[in-house]
Amino acid sequence: MNKYKLEVNRFFDAAHDLPDSENLVTKQCANLHGHTYLAKVFIESERLEDGMVVDFKKVKQVIDKLDHQYIGYKENLFGFSETFPPTAENIAQWISAMIKDKLGFIAEVWICEGYKGQETLSWAKYTPEIE
């Protein structure tokens, strides 16, 4: 059986704040601040529809919902909360869940927070369980 693999890379800018805790080393992150994020989305499929796994634009539109938005936990606009704060790990999980909900695909998502070039990349990766 053929297996197709899709990778979509998308930058977005967003503001957030994190709940202060003993695990938060950079205490300034409890204040409102912003980042340029780089999202990488990976989707696999054994089938094509109209010659595609899914139109790249549909995946980008999911990520773009976060672009130039406040995604902090205080207003709960995207489902983030004090118990599900907008960390890179949880943003990756949120994007994966939205892709499943809106497009019907299981997606692995990587998030780089504070993108400043290839040499300084740090990634949070979310791989959902396959049901």
Give the model's pLDDT for residue 21. Answer: 86
In the predicted model, what is the mean pLDDT of the chain? Answer: 93
Q: Is 92 exposed, middle or buried (0-12, 13-18, 19+ CB in 10 A)?
A: buried
C-beta atoms surrounding 19 within 10 Å:
17
pTM: 0.93
Region 30-40: mean pLDDT is 94
- DSSP annotation of 12 reads E
Region 60-78: mean pLDDT is 94
> Do the Cβ atoms of 40 and 61 come closer than 8 Å?
no
C-beta atoms surrounding 39 within 10 Å:
24
Domain 4-126 in this protein, CATH class: alpha beta
Domain limits, the chain: 4-126
Q: What is the pLDDT of residues 13-26, one digit of tens each?
A: 999 999 988 888 77
